[in-house]
Chains A and B, each alone.
Chain A
Amino acid sequence: MQTPPYGTVPLAAELRLPTNWLDYTILAIYFVVVLGIGFAARRSVKTSLDFFLSGRSLPAWITGLAFISANLAATEILGMAANSAQYGAYTVHWYWIGAIPAMVFLGLVMMPFYYGSKVRSVPEFLLLRFDRAAHLLSSILFAFAAILIAGVNLYALAIVVEALLGWPQWVAIVVAGAFVLAYITLGGLSSAIYNEVLQFFVILAALIPITVLGLKKVGGWGGLTDKLTATHGADFTTAWGGTGIGHANPLGANWLTIVLGLGFVLSFGYWTTNFAEVQRALSAKNLSAGQRTPLIAAYPKIFIVFLVMIPGLVAAALVPKIGTSGSGLQYNDAIPYLMQELLPNGVLGIAVTGLLAAFMAGMAANVSSFNTVFTNDIWAKYVVRDREDAYYVRFGRLITAIGVCASVGTAFLASSFSNIMSYLQTLFSFFNVPMFVVFIVGMFWKRASAKSGFWGLLAGTVTAMVNYFVLYKKDIISIPTDQGANFVSAIAGFVAGAVVMVAVSLFTEPKPETELQGLVYGTRSPGMSEPPAAGDDAWYRKPALLGWGAVVLAAACYIPFSF
């Protein structure tokens, strides 16, 4: 997970919101619509491709917004606001350098290989490019990670709902689990994606009023920076202040580890190889739409940072002691605190709905990618092969139910062992890094052999973990914060994976050229040569223009935060 681990610390009890019948009506309407989408999408499911990949037929604006929404889970929203309350404007790095370049790279460079080869999942691409060992390892690790993250989302939802609405934790876990189960088993990925798009707009309707009122309360952006400069120092509202190598700053990272660790390794690993994201792009209706999926998502991503960072900063300005023992509020309470302070009934209902929707979407994205990988990559390839297509649709529905039950179990487990959960979360966060190495080497170096994939994956994962859990946690190397250690571990895992891949390749047979068509840079697959659909040659639909536009815009956004 590229998001800083969202601490599963109970929220302060005094955050109970003054909700009334109006807010609950708004929430109930949303739940009805969510289920309605599931039922209505049901009739579109005929083949396994419909169930797992929406028949590769959705338009780019839908897959693009679902792409951003799958990332905009509530753990991300609350976690990034918490990050801002703790570290200040450094949060922008997770968006402008830690997301946009990777999203653009996915759209412009990698999507032709993913979409053109017609693979149904990220591990399936590894099967074609490398071998069964790499495929099975990545499939199993992904399946575990997806269930774990779905469970963490569910548990985080239960904590927030308990604090804000007063529901017991188990009620929230079971209700949210049941809704996600219902709409995904009914409508498959189409239902998950449609709900994600809807959730995107509800979440905006929730965050914009909080941000606007929060800013008004502290006297605008000027008032906010003045207050924070007085209490937290001048670097708190800048992106790069205090990040010189050797300088101390609250983030515990310098510009080099930010650019390489976060901006390159962690972010490319997350955005380009995490199947929960890439699945949205693979469900687009043609190659052009597939390429535009992450590019369309990049534009909202550039600006969403303001909607999570400003509430975090406002909370830090209003409650300077937030997150310390001198205050009843945790960093994670930033957004719930502002909801309670500022929103009257009505908009409050929208905000609660948006938050719950975001939790469910975060869980649904993981469940819908889990069932795809488990069915197509594990079950259909290694356990029950060559059955008729309808069998795999039935199995997909069954495994969705099992997956949701497993994440409900994970959520209950998390409520008793929250330390173990955050440990496991960190553990799995290191898995994306070697995935990215294996992809980048495999896509750009024809000579990388079939066996090198598995060993690169293993070496990179182990190195990142050793660096984090042994060298950093045992104080053998000194890094001031967990975030900083995260960045350094990612870089170490990347380097180790690349070195091992090169070494193994030099001693093993390369794959024959004929088997690499459309999988390696410089080759083409039949899927890439399909003619563009009517209208896709319009200038505003050109992937290159959209992609470079996003990069330039993100770079420009840095300017006011750099001086």
Chain B
Amino acid sequence: MKNAVGREIPDDILRALGKEPFQGNNYKNGVPFRRVAPIIHPVMDNQHSKLVKDIHEALVKCKAHSGMTVSFHHHFREGDLIVNMVMEEIHKMGLKNITLAATSLGKAHDPLVPMIEDGTITRIEASGVRGMIGRTISEGKLKGLAIMRSHGGRVRSLMTGETKVDIAFIGAPTSDDYGNLRGIGGKTNCGVLSYSHIDGDQAEYVVAITDCLVPFPNFPAHISMTKVDYVCVVDAIGIPEKIATGAAKPTTDQRKLMMAEYCTQVVVNTPYFKDGFSYQTGVGGASIASTISLTRIMEERGIKMGFGVGGLTKPMCDLLDRGMVRVLMDTQAFDLDTVSNVINPAHHRISAGAYANPFNKGAFVNKLDYVILASLEVDVHFNCNVVVGSDGVITGAQGGHPDTAQGAKCTIVICPLLQGRIPAICSEVTTVTTPGESVDVVVTDYGVAVNPNRHDLLEALRKADCVPLKTIEELRDIAYSITGEPDPVEFEDRVVGIIEARDGTIMDVVRQIKKCDPKE
């Protein structure tokens, strides 16, 4: 069946998953649902110790079994040691058919590939997958499906019970012996534990893993002992230099600076740019440069930001330190400056649910005026693809892309016209991950396109005459005039991955890549 973004979703997939095709952003708006409640194993005995001697004991006590679902967060990013550590133990125990429900997976988790090939891991649920696991899924080696959800969509999925986590493993920079967890302190400081809040709420068993046990109570706790079953102390939970690095040096690439300037001009010449506006941006060179040039104009015009939200970087923290933004709402700290800035009383930690869950009674993203995003591909319908490379291989993550894009009043996607020799502005994206109805403005190095549904923004930018305006089709045509129109990527029939929309409907499917025949 074709969905609202024109993607064919095979009926057998819809049937097998009990899902509907995507039917538009607000299809589930106001539709009531019952939140599932987890099984709780209460602790009343005051002699009970939550400390276990190793991961193995934790797994045994949590009744680890074949076919179970285990979950992890990705606050340690490419420095994460927890997923591999736990999965190795599960592998040693000979358990099979595991669903790995991580908030995101990266290159740090390449060692899991043999466990996919031998059937230990047969299903993956994540915001996205980078590195060798992505390639392994695309090659059809995962027995079951990979389900890719946005950060908000993941929280929804745990709340509705679509994802039932048997054991959640929460890496914590500090913990006490009763499971009060904090994202700061210790040797693997990551600042916040936002992605794990929902796992603490919904998983049957919750195991805290730390390399820094501190005296009780470790307060104020970011995840409370009331949700934690066991605490396991290990030598190291992460590689600090890969968790958060120094702030990215502002880019000197003129192409990125140009796109940043276009982006800033779009922001300051649209109606939401007024005192108290809200803003989210990413970690790319152009996004950071745009925040810096935006700051200059805010100062000139005496405009202050009401709140900044999402994954944060130094330029956003600088705004806070200089009194240019009232509060920051933090779900992820991307650099060391941000990690250390969380001590600022106006720098608040929020859960991924508060940030982006579409099945909340309203999430932070709904209050965004502007979000600046990137994309691997954007098509002439303004659909974005942030997960599947133009070679058809799973290589990225949805993250908060679809959540913020839908939530923000003005969603700006920065995307160079060409990624190497591949046109990034194209007729049809390889895979739809964020629907075009969420995307308002596309900024490229060749010009800026406004979604024709946003007459108001188009009018404002025309009047301001501040950026080279083009239609999205014109941008596509320029790209194709340079590279030629690429042939579509060839896939096998087998569906290996699902791109789930925020509301749990199916946005698109990812198919197995076709093997290249070197003789051809």
Same complex: no
